[in-house]
Structure 1
Amino acid sequence: MEMFDLLAHRARVTPARPALEDLDSGERYDYAGLNERAARLAAAAREHWGLQEGDRLAFLGHSRAEFFAMLFGCAKAGLILVPLNWRLAVPELAVLMDDCEPGALIFGAEFADAATTLAERQPGLTLVALDGAAAGQRDYPADLADTEPDTRAHPDKDPDTPWYLLYTSGTTGKPKGVIQTFRMMLANYLNIGLAVELTGSDVLLNVLPLFHTAGINLYSSAVFLAGGSVLVPRGFEPDQALRALEERATVFFGVPAVYQALIDHPAFDGRRLERVRSWGCGGAPLSLPVAQRYVDQGIRVRTGMGMTETGPTVFLLDEDSVIDKIGSVGRPQLLTEVRIVDRDGRDVPEGEAGELLIRGPNITPGYWNRPDATAEAIRADGWLHSGDVARRDADGYYYIVDRWKDMYISGGENVYPAEVEQVLEQHPAIAEVAVVGMPDERWGEVGKAYYGLSPDQDDPGDQALRAYCRERLAGYKIPKAFQAVDALPRNALGKVTKQELRDDARR
């Protein structure tokens, strides 16, 4: 299989069909127009920005429809797009820039100062302004206008040619650039597109950030393959999202926080959302109360699971099971194999927990400039070691229990902190909690719980929390130590950085 020019072929098949709309600027593209725009970017990158095949082109900006012209334009030019997480501080962005060494950086006006600072650190970097160029910068609209675009399909490439890089959040160390390829995109389309039956008539509202695999692939890239249309706002705003869902969208994918915000909105009414025929959720399963509220409104939200390294779709729950199998991520999809193994690599019996391994054409070739990390993650026979602890029930449904690295062994028993955290989160005084393992002379390791208090709540103290756990957990799972904190440490994506807590617990 060779990599073909998806956009050029789609423009040939359905040139006048709506492809993309920016909900904030109102900018619209049909497939012929989007293909031309991407071809103009490819030409501008060569003629005005000094980029050659294999070079990296970074993007720093909020979500906008133009992003997909950049994405497909990079495919045409043989460039590697690097969408940067705009939530990161400049020193964090500099780490990513040093790693991928882009030849040019496209930036939105809201990040002009950050872009200038980054350019000062990297001599030779071409700055390309989306919204009005300053002295010494290239003007994106002008440069694209000043080209003769070649809208023909680009030459075939190996399907594992790097297309774009997505950086992991780096909760345990230096962020890694996960290589994304055409093969991964096509496999994801077959995994998710067939499961939700995407067609050329579908309209997706995409509220997820475009520096994340879900923002690009759930379901935008799959919708483009099917010939449907994608609506892109600058970010998630409940009023705007509800209008689009009521009036235009037919499919939707969000994270639990988005679903919570939507259903808590005073204007939410399931009867007005009947045009949306498929609802998907990732990042974490919906809680039972939220899932039930949607069911009561006539909406069944299907939870799925994937990783940046898997393109991302691996699992998806069927609509009939969203309540009966609450907490499950569903079954593995068409082009994905999975195993659950113990620490010796042996398959575990049904119902037991172990590390989730994943294999298929949706798996990344590896990490940018990190052969060590690639070899550690992707081992014999192409199995990706996900780092997730999972179990499978008698009906073939899978559940993500915890992160493999977060598990600790106390007195010979495996303890999964997420299970303990779920119990403590139910305590009325606790707003947030994280549990880590710490050394213990008798048991090898025991748990330590760090927690933040809910507003207007007094600290219940160690004894009360230990007694609360004793009624709900086996003795070996109960944390030995409890510590109240003002806030849990988090990275730029909002994930708890447990390594900081582990380091603290071991002092």
Structure 2
Amino acid sequence: MAFSKSHICQCLSRISTLRRDSPVTITGNRRINGEDFAAGVAALARGLSEELGVGEGDVVAIAALNSDWYLELLLAIAYVGGIAAPLNYRWSFEEARYAMELVGPTVLVVDESCYVWSLELQNYKNTKLQSLTSHVFLGDPSSSLSNYLNMVTTNTIKCLLDGPQAYDYRWSPKGIAMIIFTSGTTGRPKGVAISHTSLIVQSLAKIATVGYGDDDVYLHTAPLCHIGGISTCLAMLMVGACHVFLPKFEARSAVQAIEQYHITSLITVPTMVADLLSTLREERRWTGGESVKKILSGGGGLSNELLKGASHVFPNAKIVSAYGMTEACSSLTFMTNRDPTVQNPRKSLGTIPTIDIDPTPDMKGTLVGKPAPHIELRISVNDNGEDHAGVGRILTRGPHVMTGYWGQIPAEASDSGEGGWLDTGDIGWMDGCGDLWLVGRSKGRIKSGGENVYPEEVEAVLSQHPGVSGIVVIGAPHARLTETIVACVRIKENWRWTTDQNRDPWNEGKEQVLSGKILQSYCKMRNLTGFKIPKIFILWKKPFPLTTIGKLKRDEVKNEASAHLQFIHSHL
């Protein structure tokens, strides 16, 4: 298969010149200028090739926290035509082992957060990992580990180059740059093969839409094992920005870094925004947020409450939300929620924008914005792939789409239909302005009484009740309806849950009390169609399970709720 000669290391020559005397990376007290960074990538690439034998198509697994060394390694692997496979440092050893068995790495690189994985694999032979021949430590181990570890380090295998660097890159088969693992909300993660071209066109889309430039100081809040963190990092490399690394996101450390380094750009998910706002409420005097000019948010839309809070603490920030997926190399659509540079006061407010349409009851959902410049979208309204105005499966096609799932035969790899269209697994519709509305996940769809119910639509209504702090809607087996709709509810502090079904629901304003009957009445008041209103409500007393990037693990909620309902029924 032919592929474009795009290469993610093509940014190095520009960085080495543009930031010759200024830092391109900052990690703690370590600052590296553009010229030294580019030379370090080239030296490490030569070490990978000559010392470890990494060549075109070889997979290098990485298990580490964010750092400048991590970024240097990602580029060095690509430089020699290798394929980087970042592992999630939050995984258990069993999850990490499964991922490595899937992709068959020749080298495993770890830091102090994951070095025990390497020790486990060195001590016990694994017949499924016979390809793994080298174990490498990222950077320099601490003094407590230096005498304990039996492995080389990335710093010791670097081969210094004589004379100017020619930047002679190599490519892997099919132009694959990385294998990014899906978050695994409904099972074991899959390895998504992402090409150099996909990463570059995604970077260009972010640069054009968000407005990144060489004057940006970018705070790495997202892990480099996730597509959002990697794709935005590469966008910043392409424009020649400065990168500030935290090992991992922690709200207090992020606040300090924003103030210390005068951060101009960062990316978030709703849980990060909530943590930042909670931390800043404790700050009596804090003006660090004035330097922030661009915030890109993914992993689910920001609520009006979070958006207003972010607008307050980052008064000069353009806040853009993105909808996407790993298989599409991150963002498919973008929407500007707030832009303080816009003269129209209504458009500069921290509120979710609306457009002049009146969707039918079955055509509501969440507005997620317009497709990026390189993105082609279509809505397939039935299993025959027919398209017309209406709600249906969201399909996408273009250079951003993955080359396939690693280890699967081509027919299975693309998960796409005729013409190379990738089925996102989401349900939505396009309005007359070219905006995409997200209705829900096809896998989460509830079939109740012959009608399709998407839990996200019901959750969007119930989450607006002032007493609800969290809501997850699921389907439970039902003899007559096939499935009945169940709402798992977390309530806010100072609110009380009651099972008194005789309580007048319209008296909720007089006392902070919630019940299933009150919430059903609220749904009716908000014009939610009758068959979509939950029939059963479960009071949920703990946080809902989330992935490392804040995505809901709906299946875990469903399993626990089903066990709860079975217990209740067995004791009736």
TM-score, structure 2 as length reference:
0.79
> Residues 43 and 161 of structure 2 are in contact (CA less than 8 Å); yes or no, is this contact kept in structure 1?
yes
Residue 166 (structure 2) aligned to one of 129, 144, 152: 152
How is 1:104-503 mapped onto 2 (pairs within 5 angstroms)? 104-119=107-122, 120=124, 121=126, 122=129, 124-130=132-138, 131-132=140-141, 133=146, 134-144=148-158, 151-155=165-169, 157=171, 160-218=174-232, 220-246=233-259, 247-264=261-278, 265=280, 266-267=282-283, 272-296=288-312, 298=315, 299-318=317-336, 319=338, 321=347, 323-325=351-353, 328-344=367-383, 345-349=385-389, 352-371=390-409, 374-375=412-413, 377-425=415-463, 432-451=470-489, 459-461=497-499, 464-472=515-523, 473-484=528-539, 487=542, 488-490=544-546, 495-502=551-558
Stretch deviating more after TM superposition (398-407 or 119-128): 119-128
Stretch deviating more after TM superposition (11-20 or 84-93): 11-20
> What is the SS of the residue equivalent to 1:330?
strand
Letter in 1 for 2:303: S
Q: 1:77: how far off? A: 1.0
CA deviation map 1:12-60 (0-9, x unaligned): 6436054532332x22222221221112221222233343321111111
- Equivalents in 1 of 2:163, 2:51: separation in Å? 13
Letter in 2 for 1:421: E
- Equivalents in 2 of 1:70, 1:80: separation in Å? 11
> Residues 59 and 105 of structure 1 are in contact (CA less than 8 Å); yes or no, is this contact kept in structure 2?
yes
- Equivalents in 2 of 1:462, 1:114: separation in Å? 53
Q: 1:175: how far off? A: 1.0
CA separation of 1:118/1:486 partners in 2, compared to 1, >3 Å: closer, same or farther?
Answer: farther
CA deviation map 1:393-416 (0-9, x unaligned): 443332322212111232232211
> Residues 190 and 335 of structure 1 are in contact (CA less than 8 Å); yes or no, is this contact kept in structure 2?
no
> Residues 15 and 240 of structure 2 are in contact (CA less than 8 Å); yes or no, is this contact kept in structure 1?
no
CA deviation map 1:449-473 (0-9, x unaligned): 3445666876534953144224313
CA separation of 1:192/1:399 partners in 2, compared to 1, >3 Å: closer, same or farther?
Answer: same
CA separation of 1:484/1:279 partners in 2, compared to 1, >3 Å: closer, same or farther?
Answer: closer
> Residues 462 and 482 of structure 1 are in contact (CA less than 8 Å); yes or no, is this contact kept in structure 2?
no
Letter in 2 for 1:418: E
CA separation of 1:414/1:149 partners in 2, compared to 1, >3 Å: closer, same or farther?
Answer: farther
CA separation of 1:262/1:501 partners in 2, compared to 1, >3 Å: closer, same or farther?
Answer: closer
CA separation of 1:106/1:148 partners in 2, compared to 1, >3 Å: closer, same or farther?
Answer: farther
Letter in 1 for 2:400: N
Q: 1:498: how far off? A: 2.8
Counterpart of 1:43 in structure 2 is 46
Q: 1:502: how far off? A: 4.9
CA separation of 1:242/1:471 partners in 2, compared to 1, >3 Å: closer, same or farther?
Answer: closer
- Equivalents in 2 of 1:21, 1:12: separation in Å? 12
> What is the SS of the residue equivalent to 2:52?
coil
Report runs of 4+ in structure 1 exceeding 6 Å deviation: 146-150
Q: 1:388: how far off? A: 1.5
> Residues 297 and 321 of structure 2 are in contact (CA less than 8 Å); yes or no, is this contact kept in structure 1?
yes
Q: 1:107: how far off? A: 0.9
CA separation of 1:295/1:500 partners in 2, compared to 1, >3 Å: closer, same or farther?
Answer: closer
- Equivalents in 1 of 2:210, 2:318: separation in Å? 13
Letter in 2 for 1:498: R
Q: 1:368: how far off? A: 0.6
- Equivalents in 1 of 2:284, 2:386: separation in Å? 48
How many residues get paired? 503
> Residues 129 and 139 of structure 1 are in contact (CA less than 8 Å); yes or no, is this contact kept in structure 2?
yes
CA deviation map 1:466-487 (0-9, x unaligned): 4422431332112333445565
Task: Compare CA radii of gyration and give the structure with the larger one.
Answer: 2
- Equivalents in 2 of 1:116, 1:376: separation in Å? 35
- Equivalents in 1 of 2:311, 2:171: separation in Å? 45
TM-score, structure 1 as length reference:
0.88
Stretch deviating more after TM superposition (185-194 or 265-274): 265-274
CA separation of 1:105/1:501 partners in 2, compared to 1, >3 Å: closer, same or farther?
Answer: same
- Equivalents in 1 of 2:197, 2:186: separation in Å? 28
Counterpart of 2:93 in structure 1 is 90
Q: 1:495: how far off? A: 3.8
- Equivalents in 2 of 1:230, 1:361: separation in Å? 27
CA deviation map 1:115-171 (0-9, x unaligned): 211343445542212333545312332222677798322246489411111100222
Q: 1:438: how far off? A: 3.2
Stretch deviating more after TM superposition (11-20 or 81-90): 11-20
CA separation of 1:283/1:500 partners in 2, compared to 1, >3 Å: closer, same or farther?
Answer: closer
> Residues 82 and 172 of structure 2 are in contact (CA less than 8 Å); yes or no, is this contact kept in structure 1?
no
Stretch deviating more after TM superposition (192-201 or 264-273): 264-273
- Equivalents in 1 of 2:254, 2:192: separation in Å? 30
Q: Establish whether residue 74 from structure 1 lines up as the match of residue 77 from structure 2.
A: yes
> Residues 190 and 334 of structure 1 are in contact (CA less than 8 Å); yes or no, is this contact kept in structure 2?
no
Aligned CA-pair RMSD: 3.1
- Equivalents in 1 of 2:163, 2:495: separation in Å? 63
Q: 1:209: how far off? A: 0.8
Structure 2, unmatched stretches of 5+, are 340-346, 355-365, 502-514, 567-572
Letter in 1 for 2:376: E
CA separation of 1:376/1:145 partners in 2, compared to 1, >3 Å: closer, same or farther?
Answer: closer
